[in-house]
Amino acid sequence: MLDVRIDFAPGTRVSTDVASIRRTRLHAHPNALEIVYVLRGSLHTRVSSESFDLDAGDFVVLNRADPHVLEGSPENVTAVVHVNLEAFHDVSPYADRMMFACESFDLPRYRRQEALLRGLVLDTVDARDTGDDGAPATELLRTLCNGYSLADYYQRDRPLTAAARERFHSLMAYVQTHVGSRDLLEEVAREHHYSKSYVSHFVKETAAISFTSAVNAARAMHAEILLLTTDYTMRDISAQCGFSDVKYFTRCFVDWFKQTPAEYRAANRPAVQRDDDVVPVPAEVTAELIHEHRRRVASPTDTPRLSITPILLKNVGSRADLLTKVADFPADRPLAPEAAPAGVRRRNHLMPMRFGPAEVQGRGALSGLASFDQAGITPCIVVEYSGREATAFLIDALATQLRDAGLTTVPVWLSYSGIHARGAVDCLVDDAHTRHDLDIQPVFTR
């Protein structure tokens, strides 16, 4: 059974346990947010489409109902805090429908608030022995709700007003509860008395994600639950998640999970049935470890570690490009690749980045590409075929921006999905070489 409900004691809003975690089964908490803090050893955390390797002092926030697995090292000790979000409507009316994005080594480190949040989590864990977990937990939830949600992750340098934050969460809450509807943009606009163009523009400007990307992410995550808990066919799941057809469902799911839905089901259903290997830790050991962690008063100077998602990759080259922002953190520290293990040759890696109409408008979209060379990464610009004239316009604009930025060796791909477009694609490639001395690699995608 995937769902594990947390039994909160009467009058409490938080439940805390400290244990040595060897391995948990694949599970989810439909009624609780989970915060995992590693006190000793290491912990591999896989939650939906993401995986994190945590060391002592690291913590992550796992969203309500997200399937996850925890696997610890032999010496592992981990504090697990469960929060009843429905009991925190005094902090935010959208607390139980908010998508949080908070890993200690990512956004908190970027904002230099890692030590602050670590202290709040430790206060909440420590308060379990005093019976007064409400005050620390309230402050922790207030901090998360006001700065560590989907509204904040991709748009890091522009503070949100309270009104904009509430409006964004209202729109996303509707998406979360109506994920099976086919035309969510129209429904959201109608429900909130906005135009469709306003909703799209507001979401993009507020959170640096497109409305379509947010919807597809919510649908893929809902599909994950159905794959793990039902025997529905792919056609049934596609329909229940609001996808237009099975092919589009599969493509969106692969974008997030790097597996087809059928592959994901086959690989992960067995993990739901296995036993947990979790051993409680004595109170005196917990107290000693918490005391040790409280001495970590300063945030690390390590570069923040990003979650590489389809949304992040779509933002590469835009003003919300997190890879470029993190490369400049701190400003006087160059981005450098991790040293290769002995005997392993360090290879240069390609990183696809989309170039479309939005990047044509933002003419500085390619300005940060040169910095990736220090990290052993070669940006690869991808133009999607969208008709001969429209694609020719994009290629002309791209050639101009590459020339102005002095980038003459960046690989460029032209992707197309219909075999009937091959002739037009070949003509565009020849034309780009003749007119702009730009070599483009055609890429057929299914």
The residue written with tokens 């639950």 in the block is 225
pLDDT at 112: 87
Q: 């565009």: which residue's tokens?
A: 428
The DSSP secondary structure of 294-315, one letter per residue, reads: HT--S---SPPPP---HHHHHT
Burial 243-278 (b: 16+ CB within 10 A, else e): beebeebbbbbbbbbeeebeebbeebeebbeeeeeb
Span(s) in the chain for CATH 1.10.10.60: 162-258
What is the fold, at CATH topology level, of the domain defined by 14-154+279-294? Jelly Rolls (2.60.120)
- pLDDT, residue 333, reads 45
Confidence (pLDDT) at 311: 75
Range list for CATH 2.60.120.10 in the chain: 14-154+279-294
Question: Is the domain 162-258 a CATH 3.40.50.140 member?
Answer: no
Predicted local confidence at residue 308, as pLDDT: 67
Containing 39, the helix (H) or strand (E) segment is strand 33-40
Contacts of 437 (CB under 8 A, 6+ apart): none
Asked if residues 68 and 26 have their Cβ atoms less than 8 Å apart, the reply is: yes
CA angle 101, 103, 108 (to 5 degrees): 90
Residue of 122, 154, 153, 156 lying closest to 140 (CA atoms): 122
Question: 358: part of which helix (H) or strand (E)?
Answer: helix 357-361
Q: How does pLDDT run along the chain (446 residues), one tens digit per residue?
A: 999 999 998 889 999 999 999 999 999 999 999 999 999 999 999 999 999 999 999 999 999 999 999 999 999 999 999 999 999 999 999 999 999 999 999 999 988 889 889 999 999 998 875 555 568 899 999 999 999 999 999 988 788 899 999 999 999 999 999 999 999 999 999 999 999 999 999 999 999 999 999 999 999 999 999 999 999 999 999 999 999 999 999 999 999 998 999 999 999 999 999 999 999 999 999 999 998 998 764 555 567 777 767 777 666 656 666 767 766 666 444 444 555 556 666 666 777 777 777 666 555 556 556 555 555 667 788 898 888 888 898 899 889 888 887 777 889 999 887 778 889 999 999 999 999 999 999 998 76
- pLDDT at position 394 is 87
Q: Domain 310-444 maps to which CATH number in 3.40.50, 3.20.20, 1.10.357, 3.40.1350?
A: 3.20.20
Residue 125: name the closest of 3, 10, 35 by CA.
35
- Regarding pTM above 0.75, the answer is no
pLDDT of residue 360: 63
User: CB–CB of 14/134 below 8 Å?
Assistant: yes
What pLDDT score was predicted for residue 104? 93
Q: What is the 3-state secondary structure (H, E, C) of 401-430?
A: HHHHHCCCCCCEEEEECCHHHHHHHHHHHH
Look at the alpha carbons of 246, 249, 255, 256 in this order and tell me if their dihedral is positive or negative.
negative
Q: For the chain, what is the largest distance between any 2 Cα atoms, rounded to a whole number of angstroms?
A: 75
- Cβ count near 20 (within 10 Å): 20
Residue pair 65/47 in contact by the 8 Å Cβ criterion: no
> Quick one: pLDDT at residue 405?
77
How far is the first Cα of the chain from the last one, in angstroms, to the nearest whole number?
Answer: 35
The pairing of beta strand 50-55 with beta strand 42-47: antiparallel
The answer to whether the Cα torsion of 307, 311, 314, 318 is positive or negative is negative
Specify the domain boundaries for CATH 3.20.20 within the chain.
310-444
